[in-house]
A and B are shown apart, each in its own frame.
Chain A
Amino acid sequence: MNLYETTIVLDSQQKAEDIQGIAAKTETFIKNNGGTIVKSEDWGKKRLAYEINRKQYGNYYHIQFEGPATLPDLLEREFRLEETVVRYLTVRTEAHTIVKEEKKESSLPAEETPDASPESEPAKEAAVTEPPASVDEAVVTAESDSEVEKEAEASPKE
């Protein structure tokens, strides 16, 4: 089991319920394939830094989840089939960002009682054992189809 995070950019020109539908569908897909949702955030509609398929805006959705190593591949296939998904990025949650979340969690009980420290230690160990593998390269699914890359190359010439 690994910690992953996925961000998807959805076509904001679609109906609101379709956009919500994809987000919900993705979450159930993760659950059905042996994953557990850690956190999900809706960033809402944002202006894209550059046009994608003549679109200026996109709806962003961010999900943190834990799951088997096969899950990102399955997810990618789902995203590719879904036309509402304009962009997607799935990465292993990186070691250096995990440290931050740990600190946040451990700082809370530490203020109250000194007894809390032994409790938080096993949690730390569990989190630390996983990340080192991801230090080299945590990208699991980053680059999408070649169309997208061409577009990015073409844009400066305009």
Chain B
Amino acid sequence: MIRKKKVNRFYESDGPSISDIHYKNVDLLSRFVTEQGKILPRRTSGNDAKCQRLVKRAIKRARHLALMPYVTENLR
């Protein structure tokens, strides 16, 4: 996967809204992790501080419930 600076799409009308950021929404959250399962930094994800904070928290919760991996399995 090529890491490229992305734009924060949470404020665009056609993108996902901030209220979609939830640990249940694994499809959305998986866009903000690397192939290894690491959380992307803001400089790469393009999130502003608020969105990044919400995303971070949601990912960590999803990991706790085994909805998302801490480390991707095939890389072990």
Distance in angstroms between the alpha carbons of A48 and B62 in the assembled complex: 11
- Whether A152 touches B70, Cβ cut-off 8 Å, given contacts A7-B65, A96-B54, is yes
Distance in angstroms between the alpha carbons of A100 and B68 in the assembled complex: 23
User: Which among A60, A96, A142, A152 has the highest number of chain B CB atoms within 10 Å?
Assistant: A96
A155 in the interface (beta carbon within 8 A): yes
**Is B66 in contact with A9, judged by CB distance below 8 angstroms?**
yes
Q: Could you say which interface size class chain B belongs to? A: 20 to 34
Please indicate the chain A residues that have their CB under 8 angstroms from the CB of B17 in the complex.
100
Q: In the A-B complex, list the 10 residue pairs whose CB atoms are closest, starting with the nearest.
A: A100-B19, A48-B66, A49-B69, A156-B71, A49-B66, A99-B19, A158-B76, A49-B68, A50-B69, A96-B18
Question: Which chain B residues have a beta carbon within 8 Å of chain A's beta carbons?
Answer: 17-24, 54, 61, 63-71, 73, 76
Question: Which chain A residues have a beta carbon within 8 Å of chain B's beta carbons?
Answer: 7, 9, 46, 48-50, 52, 58, 60, 62, 87, 89, 91, 94, 96-97, 99-100, 103, 142-144, 152, 155-156, 158
